[in-house]
A and B are shown apart, each in its own frame.
Chain A
Amino acid sequence: MSQSYVSAEQLCADLRALYAANGYRQYKMSKFEEYDYYVRNKDFLISDSVITFTDTNGKLMALKPDVTLSIVKNSRDMRGGVQKMYYGENVYRVSGGAHEFREIVQLGLECIGDIDDYCVLEVLTLAAKSLRAISPSSVLCVSQLDILSGSLMGVQIDVHEEILRCIGEKNAHEMRRICEAAGIADRADRLCELMNCYGAPGDVLPKLEAMFGRTHTVVRLSRIMEAMEKAGLGDMIRIDFSVVNDVKFYNGIVFKGYVEGVPQGVISGGQYDGLMRKLGRRSGALGFAIYTDMLERLFEGAGEYDADVLLLYSEADDLAAVQRAVQTLQSDGSSVVAQRIAPDKLRCRRTAKIAEGGVSFVDG
């Protein structure tokens, strides 16, 4: 799947087909959740601002700020199997710059159940293929939170959070200061070394093995990366420990996808068993979301013209003749806009008018 898209809708349609082809079933969210559900899990949400309304039964409901929480709530625990779902839903979030609510299409997929390494590989592969579909110049940054958490074992929770923030910022100078102030200066070098482990799996995995040995986690990560390599996706993977999602919810593999020319991550995902436990669920869970609002910039200016042909007609023209003229002009695949007068700012390649026996171009 590699073509240039002129709109997010086209891209989303192809991605839905990709997920469906891999056995993911569409999840449709036609009802609203209670506001209280989002409030209880607000740390999981990107934005904690939620639009609320009162339902006919007096309950305070919310326009969905996120789809994952609903999928989790409406799924069931499975032993030995995995429910695989994809979705494309409107969500309502406060935009960063304008501080106003915006309607955004969130596209993504979730696996809920007994998550094994194949599930992780499959989700990473689909995330990588989604990125490639968006742009051939894209990178999937993958981190392993268990390795990070292991390196911070026994560290006080507030220091732990501060260090994770520094790792997320690739901020070695401040991390050293925090470690020193917390009396764990001896850990700073190792944490910096881990933070600097950035690059292609082939370069980073040997460093991880040298640091931690062939632990179960490192071996699993290596196997997954090897399979990605064999699938021809290795060149777009970077191991990057600065991808740090909230460790209260996330564990194992987490990732973020970037596309050249888009200033923020366009895909974000990972394993979130912590959220499942918080909601009293036994299953594991894994998924990702694509922020389609981020992609708008990629499709900007894709069309230099609003339509190929502007067909000018007058009230005196025969209706059937106008319709015939539109069909004639469309016959070579051109898009045609019929207007009585040329609207301001409408950009068309050519202008035509109804003429005796058909149409004639008026722009030479």
Chain B
Amino acid sequence: MAEKLLNIALPKGRLGEKVYNMFEKAGFPCPSIREPNRKLIFENPEAGVRYFWVKPSDVAIYVERGAADIGVAGKDILLEYEPDVYELLDLNTGICRMAVAAKADYRDDPSRTLRVATKFSRIAQKYYASQGRDIDIIHLNGSIELAPILGLSDVIVDIVETGATLRENNLVVMEEIVPISARLIANKASYPFRTAQIARLMAEMMAMMEGAK
């Protein structure tokens, strides 16, 4: 009996394209994914894979809920949503860091509650709890850099890649919380039924990454 296709959730966007290139190089191509159209699902029975594009923050949900057997999600998403999934591989791509940033002239006053604007409430809460710092979370969904400039918050907790956006807005990184990169994740209930397929894919990806060094 032919193996069922391995369902792989990829994050839409630049990271997803990079990651797909990695899968392709590792021997799991799906040429139709490069065709210019608006399709969301692509499969290649010969390679045993079915890819689908989803919003990057939704990849972990698709995998946790079993709609995808495996997927690629940023470590930021995994830390923020804590999905109950296996984290099988650090793909060493999409590298950036979760950091605290503030206006260049900002000085922390420990006698006041620190106002933190972020999309990553859980990461910020955990980080400041580990520092014993009392904070007020201001949850925003975008343009986080605006918050300290307009006095909405004292600092922001956000992803920093090159730091260009921060610099252009006169913000600086105060502390680094955790390094971020793309991770290969798997559904815990799929794993026992697709062990050989997942292990083969992992081995090929690791070999490809090793060869690319």
Contact = CB atoms under 8 A, between A and B. Distances in A.
Contacts of B89: 173
Looking at A137, A139, A173, A259, which has the most chain B CB atoms within 10 Å of its CB? A173
Interface string A134-162: 00010101000000000000000000000
B65 A263 contact: yes
B86 interface: yes
Interface residues of B, number: 19
A199 B199 CA distance: 12
A217 to B, nearest CB: 23
A264 B86 contact: no
A258 B188 contact: yes
A171 B181 CA distance: 14
Contacts of A263: 64-67, 187, 189-190
Contact of B192 (A141, A169, A171): A141
B66 A262 contact: yes
Contacts of B65: 263
Contacts of A265: 188-189
Contacts of A242: 86
Interface string B25-65: 00000000000000000000000000000000000000011
A246 to B, nearest CB: 15
Given A258-B188, A263-B66, A265-B188, A169 B85 contact: yes
Contact of A170 (B64, B87, B189, B190): B87
A14 interface: no
B84 interface: yes
Contacts of B64: 263
Given A169-B87, A170-B86, A173-B89, A264 B193 contact: no
A258 B85 contact: no
Interface string B124-156: 000000000000000000000000000000000
A240 B85 CA distance: 15
A79 to B, nearest CB: 39
B190 to A, nearest CB: 8
A258 B194 CA distance: 12
12 contacts: A139-B192, A169-B86, A173-B89, A258-B188, A260-B193, A263-B65, A263-B66, A263-B187, A263-B189, A264-B66, A265-B188, A265-B189
A-B residue pairs, 10 tightest by C-beta: A263-B66, A139-B192, A173-B90, A171-B87, A170-B86, A258-B189, A169-B87, A260-B193, A263-B65, A263-B189
